[in-house]
Structure 1
Amino acid sequence: MSSPIQLDVGGTIFKTSKSTLTRFDGFFKTMLETSVPVEQNQSGHIFIDRDPTHFQVILNFMRDGDVDLPDSEDTVKKISREANFYLLEGLMELCSRKLEVPEPESISKMKFLETDDDALRAIVYTEKPVLIFYYSIDYAVTGTVSFPWDNDNDHCVDIFKLLKKYETEFDIHFQKGERDPEDNDHWMFCIYYKNRTIADEKFPKSSRRFDTIMQQCIGIIERYKRSENN
């Protein structure tokens, strides 16, 4: 059995085996299996001039081929930098996957209607009130979606916030609508309940006004529901 190898990483001593250090291609395999000069300290330990804070993670990865990374984005970035120094591609890949920004939950809930037939089915085949946002695309300038402006907060309307606020009351859909050449951020919205049109409105430039309209529509729908139960 080979003697353990002792590493002096930035002043902290780590003890491991040659088989662990040479398991993966990279810094240590090159150091221990080629003629590259190895720097040692006065005690004969292999000296590595790096911060030792995350070296235990480096060692654990080399032992097992996998490692649990912390939730802290800043810490994972630091581990990734160390993995890059030690040329451990597998650990760099783990860090990259950990740092991937998850898709906002609301995106998965966004439902798009491609045709008028899709819209008709969405309206007819549900017991829940239906809210359809008709968004516009500025093809002449950028070819991108133009979001409605909210004068109350001096920025574009937060669509995800609207989804979260009204998703329990409505089955919400989005459909591309006709663009108004006189209004760059022209959106419309319609509310339907059991084949009744409750609202057919241009999106107001005030979030408070929009909330007022929505509450009025919810009140109308509640009255319809009560009349159905009588």
Structure 2
Amino acid sequence: MTVAADHCSKIVKLDVGGKIFKTSISTLTKHDSMLKTMFLTRIPVVKDEDGCIFIDRDSQHFRLILNFLRDGEMALPDSDREVKEVLAEAKFFLLDPLIELCEERLETSFSPYYRVVSTVLEARKYIFATDKPVVVLRLPAHIATNGSQCYYFSESKFRSYAEQHYKSVIFVLITEPEFHEDCSWTFFLKTKKLTARIKGPMDDNLLEDLFRELLIDVAGRKRTDSQQSE
């Protein structure tokens, strides 16, 4: 084994914010980052009283950083708040691919008009936590690479509805990597649930009829709330 190979296979202990992590130098130097620079140059490192290399960062997301270094990919947390925290760590460690991954996720998930989730289970947290009617649309994760007319139609229609009615209706967009069916729209009203498969612009009248029924539901809730407050 060469000196360089022996060095990369060496096991090291890192003290990140008081929590100990054990990994190899080969993992820490697999991708361009601050850690690679640290272990392949003569930059002085700080060690704690037990001889662990000390890194003055919160340890909460360092496990995710290590997993990304090992595999070149990772499953980001569900919440935007946690993704922003991972992004801050990626910027500290100068991990450009992870920075891009986090920023792409935040760009696609942020909207002032609707929530974006990746599973039906996540959507339920919004459906059952509100007194407002809810509109849920299921789409594939990468609409732009799919080219399906029904996906483009539903996405633009959903955004239009959300921008107009977000104050009185909760809108939830589910983006699923393996979703290849016709767009699934579900309207959760006060006393019933309406579901429709939308194939494209030819179903515009059906969608408009369903949304009119939802707006009637909105008006009924407002009347009830007004009567209860008198």
Normalising to structure 1: TM-score of the pair? 0.49
Higher helix share: 2
Tell which structure's C-alpha radius of gyration is larger.
Answer: 1
TM-score normalized by the length of structure 2: 0.49
